[in-house]
Amino acid sequence: MITFYTYPGPNHRKARIMLEESGEAYETRTVDITKGEQFDPAYLRISPNNKVPAIVDHTASGDVPVFETAAILIYLAEKSGRLLPASGAGRIDAIAWLVWGTGGIGGTLPQLHHYADLAQQVPGTVERFTTEAVRLFNVLERRLKEREYICGDYSIADIPSFCSTAGWLGRVRDLSGGKLGETPAIDRWLKAVAARPAVKRAG
Ligand SMILES: N[C@@H](CCC(=O)N[C@@H](CS)C(=O)NCC(=O)O)C(=O)O
């Protein structure tokens, strides 16, 4: 049994999709980050970076805490034997694109979200993060023109990028003022991932 510590937000969905994909049994515990529960000393022993999501796997040999979304996805893939090649070039390729999805797209879009929604605009910031978001979506479009999913077969590499792209592609296109063109490969991929039963269950 796995305990899933979370609060609704962008990273919550990524971990939840993988919990559903893995087939592992889990229970959900809310950590209300609006009330500061992420700083509770008991929670800091699970997630020392005071963020959600985190999991604790209650195994026969003891509890295994895991924090950071990318690490949670790798852990669940290894435990379940799903969505990550066991070795070789395919494995490191999936990990590289997983990190790109959490750190690249997943790192840039919340910044854009923050600056674009400020009542008082900070000169240059929206343009800077929009330019980077357009670049990242162009990288993704090029990749998906040549493959059905980011690493060929559907894998943990798709999950973070899917969550961020599904939520943000339209807004980045609007903010870019025409600099982000049509993205037919991304659009096809978004539909394919959204249609997966585990993704639907995760909500
Ligand atoms: N690098 C972390 C980021 C997680 C993150 O930013 N979580 C946010 C919610 S989506 C959070 O816990 N915020 C609470 C806080 O900053 O105190 C990951 O990928 O898991």
DSSP 100-146: IIIIIIHHHHHHHHHHHT-SSPPTTHHHHHHHHHHHHHHHHHHHHHH
pLDDT at 92: 98
Q: Which CATH superfamily is domain 2-80 in?
A: Glutaredoxin (3.40.30.10)
pLDDT at 149: 98
pLDDT in tens, 47-73: 999 999 999 999 999 999 999 999 999
Classify domain 88-197 by CATH number: 1.20.1050.10
Residues of the chain below pLDDT 70: none
Q: Which of 13, 37, 52 to mutate to test the pocket of ligand 1 (most atoms within 8 A of CB)?
A: 52
**What tokens were used for 116?**
């674009």
Give residue 52 CA to ligand 1 midpoint distance, Å. Answer: 5
CATH 1.20.1050.10 residue ranges for the chain = 88-197
pLDDT at 71: 98
CA proximity to 158, closest of 187, 137, 189, 134: 189
Give residue 183 CA to ligand 1 midpoint distance, Å. Answer: 29
pLDDT at 10: 87
Residues with C-beta less than 6 Å from any ligand 1 atom:
9-11, 33, 38, 50-52, 68-69, 102
